[in-house]
Amino acid sequence: MAIIEVKNFHKSYGTKSVHEGVSLYVKKGECLGLVGGSGTGKSVLLRSLIGLEKADSGEIFIEDINVTHFSERQWQEIRKKVAYAFQGGALFDSMTVFQNLAYPLIEHSKFSPQEIQQKVSAQLKDFGLEGSEKLYPNELSGGMQKRVGLARAMMLEPDIILYDEPTAGLDPYNTRNIQDLIQKLKKKGVTSILVTHDMPTAFAVCDKFAFLKDKVIKEQGTAEQLKDQNDSLIHQFIQGNIL
C-alpha cells in the first residue's frame, strides 16, 4: 500500500513552471530518494507533501487520504505524523536547544515536564548532542544545527519523515551518523523521502529512487532499475558523477 502518493502534480510560481505532472508513490517503510539536478523543484515537491506549498493541480495522498485541498487547520493534524527535516535546521533562534526539542512535545503531548526533560535528553544523546541543551542556535556549528533540526523533527516519533538534504555540508563522520539514524528509523518502520545530492548517502539508505527532470519524474525504481535506463544523465547521477 502506498503511504505517500502524488498524482499529476503541477506547480508554478507566476509564469515559472516548476512541475508539470509529477507522479510518485512510496510504500510503507520504504525510503525514496528524490534526486535530480539543482533547481528541478525537489524541495518544492517535498514541501508540498507537508502542505507548506499548495499544488496548482493534481492530487496528494497521505495514508490514502487526499490532502491536496486541506486547510491549514487540517494540515496541522497531518503534520503530527509527518515530520519535515529542514535543510538548515530552521531552529527557533530565540530558544535554546532544549526548548527547540521540547517544542513539539509541549504542543502535542501530555508528558509532564520531567518526562519531557528525559525524552529531550535521550534524543540529544542519540544525536550526539549531549551538553548542548542550554546553547542557542547561533552558538552551534552548521552541522550541529542540522542535527538539532533532525532531532526536533523526530521528537514526536512520526510515521513519515521528509528529509531535505540532511547531509549537505556535514563532515564524513556526521554524514555517517545521519545515515545510521535514517537506517535505524527505517528499521522501526518509518516511511521517508530523502532529497539529496549526496549519492553515497542515497545509496546507503534509499530503497528506490525517483529522478526528477524536465518538470516530471523521469524514472522511478531501484538503483538497479535506473541503471538499465538509457538516459546518460540518470547514469551519471547513479554513478555519482553529478552531484
Partner 1 sequence: MTDSHNHSFKDWAVEQLEFYGGVTLLTRDCLREGFRKPHYWGLLTEQIYQIGVKSFPLVLVTSATIGAVMSLQFGYGLEKFGGKPYVPRLVASTIFREIGPMFTSLMLAARVGAGMASEIGSMVVTQQIDAIRALGTSPIKKIVLPRIIACLIILPLLVAMANVIGNTGGWLIGVNELGLDPQFYYRRALDTANIRDYLAGFGKTFFFSLFISIPSCYFGLTVKNGTQEVGMATRKAVVTSSLMILIGDFFLGKVFWMLEKWL
Contact positions toward partner 1, by CB under 8 A? 47, 50-52, 72, 75-77, 79-80, 83-84, 86, 88, 90-93, 103-104, 107-108, 152-153
- Name the residue nearer to partner 1 (CB basis): 151 or 226: 151
Give me the residue label for grid cell 508540498. Answer: 48
Q: How far is the CB of 217 from partner 1 (least distance, A)?
A: 23
- Name the residue nearer to partner 1 (CB basis): 161 or 234: 161
Q: Are 19 and 44 in contact (CB under 8 A)?
A: yes
Nearest CA to 207 among 195, 219, 192? 192
Q: How far is the CB of 145 from partner 1 (least distance, A)?
A: 11
Q: How far is the CB of 27 from partner 1 (least distance, A)?
A: 23
- Name the residue nearer to partner 1 (CB basis): 90 or 223: 90
- Name the residue nearer to partner 1 (CB basis): 49 or 217: 49
- Name the residue nearer to partner 1 (CB basis): 33 or 104: 104
Tell me the angle at which helices 97-108 and 113-126 cross, rounded to the nearest 10 degrees: 130
Cα distances from 46 to residues 4, 43, 77, 156, in angstroms, run 11, 5, 18, 19
Q: How far is the CB of 153 from partner 1 (least distance, A)?
A: 8
Q: Which residues contact 159 (CB under 8 A, 6 or more apart)?
A: 3, 63, 81, 82, 190, 191
DSSP conformational letter for 139:
G
- Name the residue nearer to partner 1 (CB basis): 87 or 117: 87
Q: How far is the CB of 92 from partner 1 (least distance, A)?
A: 6
Cα distances from 152 to residues 27, 28, 110, 124, in angstroms, run 24, 22, 17, 10
Q: How far is the CB of 107 from partner 1 (least distance, A)?
A: 5
DSSP string across 186-233: HHTT-EEEEE-S-HHHHHHH-SEEEEEETTEEEEEE-HHHHHTS--HH
Strand-strand pairing, 16-27 and 2-13: antiparallel
